[in-house]
Structures are given as structure tokens and as C-alpha cells.
Amino acid sequence: MRKIIFLGVLMTVIGSCSTNKEFEITEGSIGLIAKTTLLSEIETLYAKDSVVVNGTSNSIEKIDVYQGKNLLFSLSPKTENPEQIGTVKIEDPRFEIKGSGISLSSTFQEIQSKMEIDKIIPTAMSASIFIKNSPFLFAIDKATLPESIKYGYDPIEKTQVTESTPIKYFFISWE
């Protein structure tokens, strides 16, 4: 009887230590998708989920993957090779970068403390945060920036962004 109880406790401990790879992000993968996965394989990999393909039969523009009513992520093809994944836009906050725990729920301070920011470039509605030597790209809403830089297009310094600024968008570029 003690062996059975010990075995049950051991299995529980081992099970709780394993990570959920379904929502794990690395530089070369997101969930069930690897950098080398072809767009034509997405429907097979996410057969239990809802896969919406936008475009024509011979030209995919975007693929949205849903779990129930929740959009998990969107995929866009590479410019040079439209069969391969070029960009992934993370839509579900359960996805986290392995090792850092950064997700859509993270703040600018978390990004800055766990990654090396290369530059911050403003666009019309957001500011793009480029990570040095990494395929990860984050965007913050320009509305959250101080008035002095909110409407400009000059590069933004890290010190000009408040630590509590939330992430608006999270991309992985495999271009």
C-alpha cells in the first residue's frame, strides 16, 4: 500500500514539473509549430482547433488558429517562400517565452530586464521594440507614451518608456 501511495505522489510531482509545450515559445518554435513547419501542415497540427485560412487556393495571406472562440495566433507567409511561415502574431497571453516567461501580459520593464533591447521605433499607432539578435518583436501602444514623444517619429530611448507600459502586440519573425 505504501508503494502505491509513494508511486502516486511521485507521478504527481513529476507531472507538475513538466512544462506545457503547447504554449511555449522559443526562437525556433511556438507551441506545436517549428520554424521549419510549412503553412500547409497547420491544419493537421491543429486538427482539434479551428484553422481559418485567408487568401486564395494558391496564395495564402494569413492563417488564424483558434482554440474554441479564442484566437491563439496568426501566421503570415514568408515573402520569398510563401509555403513557409514568415511572421507569427501571438494573440493568446498563455503563450510564454521559455526561460523568461514573457507573454502578452508582460510589461516593458519585464522585457527590459530579461532581454537586450536593440531599438524602439515609433509607427503611426504604436512603437516597435526590437530585441537584439532575436526574432522577437514587441509593440506598445503610443497612447501609453509621454506626451513629449507620443506624436513623433524619432527613435525612442528606453528611458522614455515607463516600466509599467503593457505589451500591445507580440510577434516572431522568421523572415
- Hey, is 162 helix, strand or coil? coil
The answer for residues whose C-beta is within 8 angstroms of residue 48's C-beta and 6 or more apart is: none
Q: For residue 77, what pLDDT is reported? A: 95
Task: Tell me the HSE value of 135 on the side-chain side, using a 13 A CA sphere.
Answer: 18
The pLDDT value recorded for residue 28 is 97
CATH class of 20-173: mainly beta
Supply 88's cell numbers. 507569427
pTM here?
0.83
Q: What does 52-79 look like in DSSP terms, one character per residue? A: EEEEETTEEEEEEEEETTEEEEEEEE-S
Beta strands in 23-144 (DSSP E): 24-26, 29-30, 33-34, 50-56, 59-67, 70-77, 85-90, 96-97, 117-122, 126-131, 136-141
Tell me if 128 sits within 8 A of 120, measured CB to CB. yes
What is the rounded CA–CA span in Å between residue 51 and residue 55? 13
Angle 150-152-154 (CA atoms, 0-180°, nearest 5)?
120
Instruction: Please list the ranges in the chain whose pLDDT falls under 50.
Output: 5-18
Can you give the pLDDT at residue 31? 94
